[in-house]
Amino acid sequence: MPPSEEHKQPFDPSATLRTGRLRTEPESEEQGSDSPTDVAPQTALVPSTQEDKVLEGKGMANEGLADIPSELAILPLRSVVVYPLTALPLTVGRPRSIRLIDDAVLGKRVIGLVAAKDQEQDDSGPDDVYQVGTAALVHRLRKAPDGTVILLVQGLERIKIREFTQTEPYLTARVEVAPDFVEDTVEVEALMRNIVELFRRLVALVPHIPDELIMLALHVDDPRQLAYAIATYMRMDLDDAQEILEIDEVTEKLRKLTIILNRELEVLELGKKIQAEAQTEMTKVQREYFLREQLKAIKKELGEEDEQTMEAEELRQKIEEAGMPEEAEKEARRELDRLSKLPTAAAEYSVIRTYLDWLVNLPWSKSTEDNLDIARARRVLDEDHYDLDDIKERIMEYLAVRKLRLERKNDEGEEEKEPVDYIRSEREGVILCFIGPPGTGKTSLGRSIARALGRKFVRQSLGGVRDEAEIRGHRRTYIGALPGRIIQALRRVESKNPIFMLDEIDKVGQDWRGDPSSALLEVLDPEQNRDFRDHYLDVPFDLSQVMFITTGNILDTIPPPLRDRMEILRLSGYTEEEKIKIAQQYLIPRQIRENSLRPEEIEFNKGAIRKVIRDYTREAGVRNLERELGSICRKVATKVAEGLSPEPVEGLSPEVPPDGSTGSPQRPDEGPVEGPRPEPAEGPVEGPRPEPAEGLRPEVASLTAEGQEGVKTLITEEKAAEFLGKPKYFFEAAERTEIPGVATAVAWTPTGGDILFIEATKMPGGKGFTLTGQLGDVMKESAQAALSYVRSKAEELGIDVDFFEKNDIHLHVPAGSIPKDGPSAGVTMATALASLLLDKPVRADVGMTGEITLRGQVLPVGGIKEKILAAHRVGLKTVILPQRNEPDLDDVPEEVKKEMTFILADKVDQVFTAALADRRESETS
């Protein structure tokens, strides 16, 4: 036990009380100590009284000195210093110490007490003890059952050891009494008062020191006694305690004590301050908690549940009703638990709130029942789409298999649980992938399937998705995190088994933010999507009931692993006849409906539809066609709404007022560019205005009852032109190929095929060959090959041999929406060059495609069907294609084949012959 600990003991109040009794019946007092030390101190303050003859008075404490023999038994003390004028209970355990006490009690009862230098040492010899100690009177009290002896010592006077006279059986020494020097000065008085004041503060800070001690201290007027009394009760190091004993001047002793007291006070006050601060912090939190609880109780009493509790309750209910799988429900409850413990103002609160909102609003168990009536499904598909027989057939197969599987499963009941195919677990869904140009009905087919099955339909475009997180969501730790597009769409559609259309799967990007296609794979793969884990939700969601349909324009850019998972169904562009049928049967009736017209109020004749197709749209699909037809319908609707039916009634010549179609501002000619353009109605488009009085022809006025509903407007070619303005497309080829050096290529594009004009020109110079038009490498090489071939055949073709020495040649492929790479423009480039060098224009109605070799062979190319449809669309009559592409002609619709001529070539010469035939000849033939 460290010495300082020992000094705590003096604060035991019972010790003080014992002191009082000690003086009357000292022998009866019992003292005990558990201290394992040889001599353990127990202290009591002994105020100076008249009864104690031993020590008295002020000045040199010489009285009673005669009672102290010059040779004393020396008892080494551990961890304690006994001062003169104080009494301390001690416990003595070691046999030699007991012997010493026994001998002392038999004699004069006076012994020398000295502190041992080393607290740890058991048997202190002469060298192990301090030389200054205290002579003390011993009262033996009693023997404890364990053999130790408890005694009370009363300090008499300071002694200095002169020499040890014996070490066995215990130490004895010759001593010299060394009384303290006491001065009676003002300084001593001041020091005393100061010490009493410091001690008072100290006692106030240490709760277990009884206040009586202050009273005692206040009443001591002997500075020496005060110094020793307070030193006995103070917590201090043994070294300090010994120093106080050793200092000769009492004034010095008081000074030293002042320093120690001050330091001790400082420590205690700082400790108290720390404690107080911690306490206030605690009580503040406790107070708030207490008040909040009270508020809750009051609100409850008033029947006003607080918002947070209500919200939590509401969420709890929603979680119960959501029908989540176990893991999700557990997570939801856990989060709800956290939520109810947070204050609403905490940032975390709204994060959890939003998360729970997502969880409870997902269609975990909401689904629609499939309508597997096959006949009805066929009817629905036919109702919505013209032709597309192959695709409809495939969809019917899909539905039929589904129906059978469900029926047979029900028949066989539950017993047959063993999977038949161990390699591949049962596939819920085939993933259909519709590939084709825009406007060919991919999306609307999806809607149709949903309608046929009675499922909900949801669409999500993947165009430009580069980040995996867009598919799979951001982790909740990100601020503003949300689930990915898949989960978002499912929440919107509120069903776990919708038809889910993923558009533009061919435009999924990939960069440093991660590969969305791998996330998509997980979504689409029936083996994996049973527990699709969105990063935000972080609990699995079963996507296996969702029927995914993907769409895209081209197949090549779809990542191969994704492509493998899907069943590809191709939709190619429509022919003019097909478009007319689609318009008649589907688009026009729909536009009439959507524009709130009645079928008897408008009619399109075939010529008008054809005109719209030829002059106002140039596309593989029918999207723009529908838009233009809609535009016409809107104009008629405006008339009807204004109560003025436009004039044409069947049989009447629909004379267009000249200022009506040409006088008003024209739409700028947009050229033969495909793609969406501003709705005609929104542009500065001319159109029939309400008949002005002066423009009204009498016969029309008589036939159209003004404002009367139900008067039919017949849309003829002229009327269509009047409504739609200047044609947007015309047969450009005639104009472009008028001069030698321009040839028409038919090209394949993601939007369904188009034509482009390849131009060659010459100028005086030396051997240069320039290629322009942002061409890809393959196309550049193709151009070089074309030139080399033409040069090598110059003589045969009848080209002046010097020509290449004297001229620069420039080959240009104009900008446009067509990707300019690939080998299939080879023959066209060669033809343009030949046309230029022979000074013979290319036939206007001829389009061509094919790769060439240096030796002049024509190699097969892809996309023949789309190319021919495009050629047909723009009005070309002849297409030159590689011989080896002949089988591809089987795919070309009959009506197109009927209207066109195909020249199959396997040598470039044949192409030249066909393309460079005399224009007039070809035009008449």
Q: Closest approach of Cβ 625 to ligand ADP, in Å? A: 8
**Only segment of 350-358, 384-392, 713-721, 815-823 that touches ligand ADP (CB under 6 A):** 384-392
Minimum CB separation from ligand ADP for residue 609, in Å?
Answer: 14
How is residue 463 written in tokens? 């165009």
Least distance to ligand ADP from the beta carbon of 435, Å? 10
Tell me whether residue 45 or residue 458 sits nearer to ligand ADP (CB atom): 458
614 near ligand ADP, rule: CB under 6 A: no
Candidate ranges 283-291, 433-441, 661-669, 698-706; the one touching ligand ADP (CB under 6 A): 433-441
Does 753 interact with ligand ADP (rule: CB under 6 A)?
A: no
Out of 482, 622, 818, 846, name the contact with ligand ADP by CB under 6 A.
622
Smallest separation (angstroms) from ligand ADP to the CB of 509: 20
| Nearer of residues 673 and 854 to ligand ADP, judged by Cβ | 673
287-315 burial, b at 16+ Cβ within 10 Å, e below that, comes to eeeeeeeeeeeeeeeeeeeeeeeebbeeb
Q: 456, 611, 762, 867: which is the annotated catalytic residue?
A: 867
CA pair distance 298, 309, nearest whole angstrom: 14
Give catalytic status of residue 824 as yes or no. Answer: yes
Radius of gyration of the chain (CA): 56
- Going by the DSSP 8-state scheme, the letter that residue 505 receives in this structure is G
User: Both tokens of residue 858?
Assistant: 């024509």
**146: three-class secondary structure by DSSP:** coil
Q: Pick the closest to residue 786 from 743, 733, 734 (CA basis).
A: 743
Between 590 and 840, name the residue whose CB sits nearer to ligand ADP. 590
Q: DSSP secondary structure string, 562-622?
A: HHHHEEEEE--PPPHHHHHHHIIIIIHHHHHHHTT--GGGEEE-HHHHHHIIIII---SSS
CB of 388 or CB of 842, closer to ligand ADP: 388
Q: Which of 128, 373, 387, 909 binds ligand ADP (CB under 6 A)?
A: 387
User: Contact between 435 and ligand ADP (CB under 6 A)?
Assistant: no
Angle, nearest 10°, between helix axes 223-233 and 250-302?
Answer: 50
Q: Give whole-number Cα distances, 551 to 397, 441, 490, 568, 570, in Å.
A: 19, 10, 18, 9, 10
Taking the least distance from each CB to ligand ADP, the nearer of 537 and 892 is 892
Range list of H helices, 153-249: 186-205, 212-219, 223-233, 238-246
Out of 582, 756, 811, 914, the residue judged to bind ligand ADP by CB under 6 A? 582
Nearer CB in complex with ligand ADP: 112/573: 573
Our CA dihedral for 584, 586, 588, 593, rounded to 10 degrees, sits at 150
Angstrom distance (rounded) from CA 498 to CA 292:
47
Nearer to ligand ADP, 384 or 534 (CB): 384
The answer to whether 82 touches 6, Cβ cutoff 8 Å, is no
Member of 18, 224, 235, 385 binding ligand ADP (CB under 6 A)? 385
The three-point CA angle 511-512-518 to 5° equals: 65
Q: Which of 626, 691, 722, 754 forms a contact with ligand ADP (CB under 6 A)? A: 626
Kind and range of the H or E run holding 885: none
Residue 70 binding ligand ADP, by CB under 6 A: no
748 belongs to the binding site for ligand ADP (CB under 6 A)? no
Of 103-111, 255-263, 488-496, 620-628, which segment contacts ligand ADP by CB under 6 A? 620-628
Question: Would you say 240 or 503 has its CB closer to ligand ADP?
Answer: 503
Residue nearest to ligand ADP (CB): 441
364 scored as a contact of ligand ADP (CB under 6 A)? no
Whether the CB-CB separation of 723 and 688 falls below 8 Å is answered with yes
Q: Kindly name the residue from 97, 824, 835, 922 that is annotated as catalytic.
A: 824
Question: Between helices 389-412 and 442-453, what is the axis angle to 10°?
Answer: 30
User: Which residues fall within 8 angstroms of residue 588, CB to CB, at 6 or more apart?
Assistant: 604, 609, 629, 633
What are the backbone dihedrals phi and psi of residue 74, each rounded to the nearest 5 degrees, phi first?
Answer: -105, 120
Query: Which residues between 778 and 837 bind ligand ADP (CB under 6 A)?
Result: none
Residue type, 206: V
Closer residue to ligand ADP, CB minimum distance, 19 or 443: 443
Q: How far is the CB of 602 from ligand ADP (least distance, A)?
A: 18
Least distance (Å) from ligand ADP to the CB of residue 653?
33
- Tell me the one-letter amino acid at 548: F
Q: How far is the CB of 619 from ligand ADP (least distance, A)?
A: 10
Of residues 438-457, those binding ligand ADP (CB under 6 A): 438-444
Contact between 586 and ligand ADP per CB under 6 A: yes
**Which of the ranges 26-34, 437-445, 483-491, 507-515 carries the binding residues for ligand ADP, by CB under 6 A?**
437-445
Cβ proximity of 516 and 469 under 8 Å: no
Q: Stretches 57-65, 310-318, 385-393, 490-498: which one binds ligand ADP (CB under 6 A)?
A: 385-393
Site string for ligand ADP, 403-432 (x = CB under 6 A): ------------------------------
H or E element: which one contains 365? none
Residue 876 near residue 827 (C-beta atoms within 8 A) = no
Which is nearer to ligand ADP, 98 or 445 (by Cβ)? Answer: 445
Q: Least CB distance from residue 300 to ligand ADP, whole Å?
A: 57
Nearer to ligand ADP, 319 or 620 (CB): 620
Joined tokens for residue 71: 């040779």
Of 301-309, 618-626, 674-682, 887-895, which part binds ligand ADP (CB under 6 A)?
Answer: 618-626
Q: Does 575 bind ligand ADP (CB under 6 A)?
A: no
What is d(CA 223, CA 191) in angstroms, rounded to the nearest whole number? 9
Decide: helix, strand or coil at residue 110: strand
Pairing of β 846-848 and β 149-166: unpaired
CB of 568 to ligand ADP, least distance (A): 14
Tokens for 105, please give them. 């009690």
Window of 88-96, 222-230, 435-443, 598-606 that interacts with ligand ADP by CB under 6 A: 435-443
535 interacts with ligand ADP by CB under 6 A: no
| Of 626 and 686, CB closest to ligand ADP | 626
Single residue of 388, 505, 523, 846 touching ligand ADP by CB under 6 A = 388
With respect to ligand ADP, which residue has the nearer C-beta, 439 or 526? 439
Q: How far is the CB of 548 from ligand ADP (least distance, A)?
A: 15
Task: Report the run of H or E that residue 125 belongs to, with start and end.
Answer: none
392: left (phi over 0), alpha (psi -120 to 50) or beta: alpha
d(CA 309, CA 446): 45
Cα 688 from Cα 639, distance rounded (Å): 9
Minimum separation from the CB atom of position 616 to ligand ADP (A): 16
Residue 613 interacting with ligand ADP (CB under 6 A): no
Site residues for ligand ADP, 168-227, by CB under 6 A, read: none
Query: How many residues contact ligand ADP, by CB under 6 A?
Result: 18
CB 67 within 8 A of CB 54: yes
User: Contacts by 913-919 with C-beta closer than 8 Å and gap 24+?
Assistant: 914/843, 914/846, 914/878, 914/880, 915/743, 915/831, 915/835, 915/842, 915/843, 915/846, 915/848, 915/880, 916/831, 916/834, 916/835, 916/838, 916/840, 916/841, 916/842, 916/843, 917/843, 919/841, 919/843, 919/844
State yes or no: is 867 an active-site residue.
Answer: yes
CB of 505 to ligand ADP, least distance (A): 12
The least CB distance from residue 622 to ligand ADP, in Å, is 5
577 touches ligand ADP by CB under 6 A? no
Asked if residue 485 binds ligand ADP (CB under 6 A), the reply is no
Binding site for ligand ADP (CB under 6 A): 385-388, 438-444, 551, 582, 586, 621-623, 626
**Which residues belong to the active site?**
824, 867
